Structure 1
Amino acid sequence: MFKKILIANRGEIACRVIKSAQKMGIKTVAVYSDADRNALHVRMADEAVHIGPPPANQSYIVIDKILEAVRQTGAEAVHPGYGFLSENMRFAEALEAEGVAFIGPPSSAIESMGDKITSKKIAQEAGVSTVPGYMGLIEDAEEAVKISNQVGYPVMIKASAGGGGKGMRIAWNDAEAREGFQSSKNEAANSFGDDRIFIEKFVTQPRHIEIQVLADKHGNCVYLHERECSIQRRNQKVIEEAPSPFLDEATRKAMGEQAVALSKAVGYTSAGTVEFIVDGQRNFYFLEMNTRLQVEHPVTELITGIDLVEQMIRVANGEALPFQQDDIKINGWAMESRLYAEDPYRNFLPSIGRLTRYRPPIEGATAEGGIVRNDTGVYEGGEISMYYDPMIAKLCTWAPTRSESIEEMRIALDTFEVEGIGHNLPFCAAVMDHPKFVSGEITTAFIEEEFPEGFEGVTLPDPMISRVVAAVAAMNRVAEIRRTRVSGRMDNHERKVGDDWVVILQGAEVPVTVRADRGGAHVDFADGTSMRVESDWVPGQTLAHLLVDDAALVLKVGRAVGGYRIRLRGADIKVKVYSPRQAELARLMPEKLPPDTSKFLLCPMPGLIVSLAVNVGDEVFEGQALCTVEAMKMENILRAERKGVVKAINAEVGGSMAVDDVIMEFE
């Protein structure tokens, strides 16, 4: 077995590989850029080598710098993780020339399957059903428009070397095809050093289901069943689960066998993923093969009990797979929520900065019989950089059934504390409660259809509002007792703290009476109902674990004027708790209105101005492109919301902008 391996990656996947290597008794080497000098993967590894400036094309994807780190440390093998150089044939060949093992497939398989254009041609020749499209290289935007018309709108414009939703656009007309081609080309060049683009038909109402394969160098190849990855935003997966709630045994077997056949046809070894689009009748079409470890691999590990990273290392070392197809069973159900540094209240635009608070839920077995796992590459006090993918963590849960796994995820998300940056945790929580997701009736259009205006938070249903009211009322009584003790205003606090309160949230006023005892409190409502609340929460704690009528409830708690900021299940609400007299006076207070920013184009995220599409004095119309901002390797086109005339431009191409900086003003 290898004594030392180098991980040619960063973030959570580098940490994930290090964990398996440590378990196997293998020493590890991390590489890092200037921006990652204090990163978690650097701290975890036995050795670390600096490889250059923050931009990936000056550090993480420079083959010579990785090779020099290998030579410097004497690493015997390299694990590429995902992204960066993981599907770069030249990198695999360079390692082979150095006599260093590549913990991945042979370069010939990367060449055949890692390139989306080539892989689709091979699949077609092998008789695999593929999505209609144009597999040749496309020279310019006008040719892209011509081909799009031939294929028929809508079309998917994709980077040949792409992944993670980068270099990918959907076009519904000529203008979007022209614009999407250039943006995809730019993103592909910046992220992968390869700007080749191809076009295929965009299949409406599809499911994205993928098959995990694992092959050794002795002719053995198995499939580890499927993952459902249909919850996507901008073609980037957000929620994944295994198995799929949609497949039957016959379809699962057919997809698995086809994935294995394709893998064998190209001499594949190591872990890989064959992706399919599946329609409503369970017809499936080969989409692409990812010749690397997938981001969402933990859900497969949770339902099979197989450590994919360990198997990749063993295969690279020449070992045979220790199991056959019949040995691989589906045990229970697993969910994964990708926690991104993206602000859902700003249309999921990237957010950067310091993690002032980062407290994941406790990993391992839960009281309800499930499992919580959190793969991460960050820590409290660390920085989220603008140079790399915005992923913070991959939160996973396992339980015997799908409904139980969803409930475990709800609790885990409510328990996960992240402060200092915008993040999509509330959105993930909202998905877990969405009726369509709960029923399993989902497609890749789920987010677009169910959140057409973007995510604006969650309005809690009446039963949950009642539980929150009871919980906060009981918690507020504890806080009031603490305040009176600290002030020293009384000796017998039980008679001084009132029982009657008015809880205000989501526009509703709810009068309650709190009857406390040593074990908790009964909260009585005006309609005669009552709820029992028990908790060991004390003021100052940011997380409250409660039992409300014997059912678990977890609240993130923050102080606010007149009450609390409460977050749960995707809702972020201000809860005020007043005495009856305070509530009466509060009704007389005027509402404070936000400032009018309708005549300004504000930068929605930290980033660089890539281009300005208008000049001072230009008349613009609704939907017209105004400028392009690049952040975290993604280009974002900002458009006019209404008709107007450009009065001033306060930015320049190449300039750096912060959130809410004024890019331009309108008359």
Structure 2
Amino acid sequence: MFKKILIANRGEIACRVIKTARKMGIQTVAVYSDADRDAVHVEMADEAVHLGPPPAAQSYLLQDKIIEACLKTGAEAVHPGYGFLSERAAFPAALKEKGIVFIGPNPRAIEAMGDKIESKKFANAAKVSTVPGFLGVIESADHAVEISREIGYPVMIKASAGGGGKGMRIAWNDAECREGYTLSKNEAAASFGDDRVFVEKFIVDPRHIEIQVLGDKHGNVVYLGERECSIQRRNQKVIEEAPSPLLDEATRRAMGEQAVALAKAVDYDSAGTVEFVADQNRNFYFLEMNTRLQVEHPVTELITGIDLVEQMIRVAAGEPLEIRQTDVKLSGWAVESRIYAEDPFRNFLPSIGRLVRYRPPEEGSDGAITVRNDTGVVEGSEISMFYDPMIAKLVTHGPSRIEAIEAQADALDAFVIDGIQHNIPFLTSLMQHERWREGRLSTGFIREEYPDGFAVTQADAAAKRILAAASVAMEVIRRDRLEALPNRLRPSAGALRSDWVVKIDKDYVPVSIEEGFASVPIELDLTIGDASEPVTVVSRWVPGDLIWEGEIGGEAVAIQVRPVANGAILGYRGVSAVVKTLTPKVAELDKLMPEKAPPDTSRFLLCPMPGLVVTIEVVEGQEVKAGETLAVVEAMKMQNVLRAERDLTVKAVKAKPGDSLAVDAVIMEFA
């Protein structure tokens, strides 16, 4: 077994590999760019080697620097994680020349399966069912249109060396095909240093299902069940689960056996994933093979009990698999949410900055429920514009799918992130979505269910009762503490009255305290609204806590708490509302207060996220039709097209290509 390995990656996956290496008694070496000098993976590793400036092309993608770091530290093997150099056949070949082991598949398998165009050719030759498409390289936008017409719209334009949703566009007509071709090539070049793209038929209402395979250097290959990854946004996975609610045992076996046959055909000898697109009738087609560890591997680990990173290391060291297909048992259900640094209320545009607060829910098992959080940041970490926006992967496991989903919702409610925008409100809301809970999924789920983007979830009657109960409990504690202060700081007499009105955004909910006491832990019996029976509220919350945790009507509840003037912003199950606990008299006066109108920004094109201006497509004085492109801004390796929302005339252009802009910076003004 190896004594020391180097992890040629960063962030949460580097931390994930280090954890398993520690468990196995293996020392670790981290590598880092200038932007990651103080990163968690650098602190966790036994040693760390500096690579270069923040851009990946000048640091993490330099295989010579990685090899030099191995030789300098005496690392015997390299784990590539995912992304970066993980699927470049030249990398393990270069390592081998220096006597360093690659913890991943052999170069032949990477060459055969790692390139999307070549993998489809290979799969066709191996009689694996594939999606209809053109397997050659597309030479121009006109060529892309020609091929797309032959295949028939809709089509998917994809980067040959791609992954993680980068360099992928769906086109429904010639115009979208031309634009998608250009954007895919640009993103592919920026993300992978390879701008080749290809075109294939887009399966309508598809599901994305993948099979985890594991092989060794002795000809043994097994499959470890499937993962459903259909909840995607812009072709990037957002939520994954294992197993899939679509498959029956016969389909699972058929997909698994086909995946194993394909892996054996290329002598696959590590962890890998064979991805399929399936229709709602369980017909499935080979999509691609990812010759690396997948981001979503934790859900497979939780339902099988198998540490995939450990298996990769053991296989790389030459050990035969001790796992046989009959040993693989799927137990329970696991759900994974990807926590991204992005603003769900601004069409999920990237967000960067410092994590002023970062307090994930407690990991571990409680009864039948397990919570796991794979992350590479801590409170105070910086989310950089140079890398992927993923902050963490929150995973829950339970005996059934619904129990895993409920556990996920509870964990998301208890996840504290401040300082940047993040997608937890969206993820929490989605956990309550009826279609998701019923397992009626497709890769178009988010587009179909949120056609106008994600907006703040409005509190229903049940949510209002919970927010009202928690708010009154918090107000009672706050006033009880004030009563203990010196006389001149105490509130007015009668502060601990029994009748209250809770304002939730614009709604007013009457609440009566029937009985209870105000010391911590607080216990109150409350009658809320027009309810006929009181509800008991119990909590140990004290002012300053960012999470209100307690029981309301015997049910455990976690609520995000952020103080504002005379109240708090409370977040629960995707609902985010300004909540104030008022006396009845103050509530009557509050209803008379005028509302402040937001400023009118319709005459300006504002930068929707921190990013780099790639192009300005208009000039001053130009008349523009609704839907036409105004500018392209790049952030976190994704190019975002900013279009005119209405017919307009450009009055002034305030930015130019190459400018680095903050969120809401003015790009141009309209007449």
Partner SS state of residue 162, structure 2? strand
Given that residues 365 and 372 in structure 1 are in contact (C-alpha distance below 8 angstroms), is that contact kept between their aligned partners in structure 2? yes
Instruction: Determine the structure 2 residue equivalent to 1:577.
Output: 581
Instruction: Determine the structure 2 residue equivalent to 1:150.
Output: 150
Deviations 1:275-316 (A, max 9, x none): 001101100000000000000000000000000000000000
- Give the drift of 1:45: 0.5
- Give the drift of 1:483: 2.6
Within the candidate set 538, 561, 580, 1:557 is matched to: 561
Residue type at the aligned position of 1:200:
E
Instruction: Determine the structure 1 residue equivalent to 2:308.
Output: 308
Residue type at the aligned position of 1:544:
W
Q: Does 1:349 align with 2:349?
A: yes
Cα 1:453–1:487 shift into 2, 3 Å: farther
Instruction: Determine the structure 1 residue equivalent to 2:523.
Output: 520
Residue type at the aligned position of 2:538:
E
Given that residues 210 and 276 in structure 2 are in contact (C-alpha distance below 8 angstroms), is that contact kept between their aligned partners in structure 1? yes
Q: Does 1:90 align with 2:113?
A: no
Deviations 1:159-189 (A, max 9, x none): 0000000011111111111111111111111
Partner SS state of residue 319, structure 1? coil
When structure 1 is superposed on structure 2, of 252-261 and 452-461 the one drifting more is 452-461
Q: Does 1:391 align with 2:394?
A: no
- Which runs of structure 2 are paired with 1:433-452 in the superposition (5 Å)? 433-452=432-451
Cα 1:542–1:494 shift into 2, 3 Å: farther
Deviations 1:559-583 (A, max 9, x none): 1222111011111110121111111
Instruction: Determine the structure 1 residue equivalent to 2:638.
Output: 634
- Which runs of structure 2 are paired with 1:107-118 in the superposition (5 Å)? 107-118=107-118
Instruction: Determine the structure 1 residue equivalent to 2:31.
Output: 31
Partner SS state of residue 477, structure 1? helix
* Distance in 2 (alpha carbons) for counterparts of 1:375 and 1:641: 39
TM-score normalised per structure 2: 0.98
Given that residues 134 and 147 in structure 1 are in contact (C-alpha distance below 8 angstroms), is that contact kept between their aligned partners in structure 2? yes
- Give the drift of 1:486: 2.8
When structure 1 is superposed on structure 2, of 514-523 and 649-658 the one drifting more is 514-523
* Distance in 2 (alpha carbons) for counterparts of 1:83 and 1:525: 52
* Distance in 2 (alpha carbons) for counterparts of 1:340 and 1:525: 36
Given that residues 483 and 491 in structure 2 are in contact (C-alpha distance below 8 angstroms), is that contact kept between their aligned partners in structure 1? no
* Distance in 1 (alpha carbons) for counterparts of 2:187 and 2:495: 64
Residue type at the aligned position of 1:657:
L
Instruction: Determine the structure 2 residue equivalent to 1:274.
Output: 274
When structure 1 is superposed on structure 2, of 248-257 and 577-586 the one drifting more is 577-586
Instruction: Determine the structure 2 residue equivalent to 1:169.
Output: 169
* Distance in 2 (alpha carbons) for counterparts of 1:372 and 1:292: 25
Unaligned segments of structure 2, at least 5 residues = none
When structure 1 is superposed on structure 2, of 244-253 and 501-510 the one drifting more is 501-510
- Give the drift of 1:55: 0.6
TM-score normalised per structure 1: 0.98
- Which runs of structure 2 are paired with 1:132-531 in the superposition (5 Å)? 132-366=132-366, 368-486=367-485, 488=487, 496-518=495-517, 520-527=523-530, 528-531=532-535
Partner SS state of residue 484, structure 2? helix
Partner SS state of residue 222, structure 2? strand
Cα 1:244–1:494 shift into 2, 3 Å: farther
Partner SS state of residue 176, structure 2? helix
Within the candidate set 587, 600, 603, 1:599 is matched to: 603
* Distance in 2 (alpha carbons) for counterparts of 1:589 and 1:290: 58
- Give the drift of 1:495: 5.4
- Give the drift of 1:3: 0.6
- Give the drift of 1:460: 2.3
Instruction: Determine the structure 2 residue equivalent to 1:540.
Output: 544
* Distance in 1 (alpha carbons) for counterparts of 2:669 and 2:505: 34
Residue type at the aligned position of 1:392:
I
When structure 1 is superposed on structure 2, of 441-450 and 527-536 the one drifting more is 527-536
- Give the drift of 1:51: 0.6
* Distance in 1 (alpha carbons) for counterparts of 2:355 and 2:493: 40
* Distance in 2 (alpha carbons) for counterparts of 1:283 and 1:507: 49
Given that residues 387 and 637 in structure 2 are in contact (C-alpha distance below 8 angstroms), is that contact kept between their aligned partners in structure 1? yes
Deviations 1:392-426 (A, max 9, x none): 00000011111111111011000100000000011
* Distance in 2 (alpha carbons) for counterparts of 1:243 and 1:627: 42
- Give the drift of 1:461: 2.2
Deviations 1:499-553 (A, max 9, x none): 1111111432111112342450011134233211000111111111110010011
Instruction: Determine the structure 2 residue equivalent to 1:622.
Output: 626
Given that residues 485 and 493 in structure 1 are in contact (C-alpha distance below 8 angstroms), is that contact kept between their aligned partners in structure 2? no
Instruction: Determine the structure 2 residue equivalent to 1:16.
Output: 16
Given that residues 484 and 493 in structure 1 are in contact (C-alpha distance below 8 angstroms), is that contact kept between their aligned partners in structure 2? no
* Distance in 2 (alpha carbons) for counterparts of 1:390 and 1:228: 22
Within the candidate set 632, 651, 655, 2:655 is matched to: 651
- Give the drift of 1:496: 4.2
Residue type at the aligned position of 1:124:
N
- Give the drift of 1:212: 0.1
Partner SS state of residue 330, structure 1? coil
Residue type at the aligned position of 1:63:
Q
Deviations 1:315-340 (A, max 9, x none): 00000111100000001110100000
Given that residues 569 and 578 in structure 2 are in contact (C-alpha distance below 8 angstroms), is that contact kept between their aligned partners in structure 1? yes
* Distance in 2 (alpha carbons) for counterparts of 1:64 and 1:614: 43
- Give the drift of 1:487: 5.3
Given that residues 415 and 554 in structure 1 are in contact (C-alpha distance below 8 angstroms), is that contact kept between their aligned partners in structure 2? yes
- Give the drift of 1:200: 0.5
Given that residues 650 and 669 in structure 2 are in contact (C-alpha distance below 8 angstroms), is that contact kept between their aligned partners in structure 1? yes
Given that residues 459 and 506 in structure 1 are in contact (C-alpha distance below 8 angstroms), is that contact kept between their aligned partners in structure 2? no
Given that residues 212 and 271 in structure 1 are in contact (C-alpha distance below 8 angstroms), is that contact kept between their aligned partners in structure 2? yes
- Give the drift of 1:67: 1.2
* Distance in 1 (alpha carbons) for counterparts of 2:545 and 2:137: 58
Partner SS state of residue 282, structure 1? coil
- Give the drift of 1:494: 9.6
* Distance in 2 (alpha carbons) for counterparts of 1:94 and 1:520: 66
Given that residues 92 and 107 in structure 1 are in contact (C-alpha distance below 8 angstroms), is that contact kept between their aligned partners in structure 2? yes
* Distance in 1 (alpha carbons) for counterparts of 2:482 and 2:638: 49
Given that residues 483 and 490 in structure 2 are in contact (C-alpha distance below 8 angstroms), is that contact kept between their aligned partners in structure 1? no
Unaligned segments of structure 1, at least 5 residues = none
* Distance in 1 (alpha carbons) for counterparts of 2:604 and 2:481: 46
- Give the drift of 1:493: 9.7
- Give the drift of 1:69: 1.0
Partner SS state of residue 163, structure 1? coil
Q: Does 1:612 align with 2:616?
A: yes
- Give the drift of 1:474: 1.8
* Distance in 2 (alpha carbons) for counterparts of 1:484 and 1:596: 44
Cα 1:664–1:492 shift into 2, 3 Å: closer
* Distance in 2 (alpha carbons) for counterparts of 1:550 and 1:64: 60
* Distance in 1 (alpha carbons) for counterparts of 2:247 and 2:183: 35
* Distance in 2 (alpha carbons) for counterparts of 1:581 and 1:401: 49
Deviations 1:577-615 (A, max 9, x none): 111111111111110000000000000000100011111
Deviations 1:65-114 (A, max 9, x none): 11111111111000000000000011111011111100000000000000
- Give the drift of 1:654: 0.6
* Distance in 2 (alpha carbons) for counterparts of 1:146 and 1:234: 24
* Distance in 2 (alpha carbons) for counterparts of 1:389 and 1:584: 49
* Distance in 1 (alpha carbons) for counterparts of 2:36 and 2:56: 11
* Distance in 2 (alpha carbons) for counterparts of 1:494 and 1:133: 77
